[in-house]
Homo-oligomer: A and B are copies of this chain.
Amino acid sequence: MPKLVDHEQRRRELGEAVWRVIRRDGIEAASVRKVAEEAGWSAGALRHYFSTQSELLTFAMQMVVERIEVRVGALEPPADPREAVEQRLHELLPLDKERRAENEVWLAFAGRALVDPQLRTRHEEVDEELRRACLGALQELGSGGRLRPGLDPELEAERLHGLLDGLALHTAMRPDRMSPRLIRSVLARHLDSLGAEVDGLGGHDNPTGDRGSGRQ
Contacts and interface: CB of A to CB of B under 8 A. Distances in A.
Contacts of A207: 152, 155
A124 interface: yes
Interface residues of A, number: 47
Interface string A145-188: 00011111011101101111111011011100000001001100
Nearest to A196: B200
A114 interface: yes
Nearest to A173: B110
B159 A189 contact: yes
A161 B170 contact: yes
Contacts of A213: 154
Contact of A189 (B155, B198, B199): B155
Contact of A155 (B110, B159, B166, B214): B214
A148 B154 CA distance: 24
B169 A165 contact: yes
A37 interface: no
Given A163-B162, A163-B163, A169 B200 contact: no
A28 B114 contact: yes
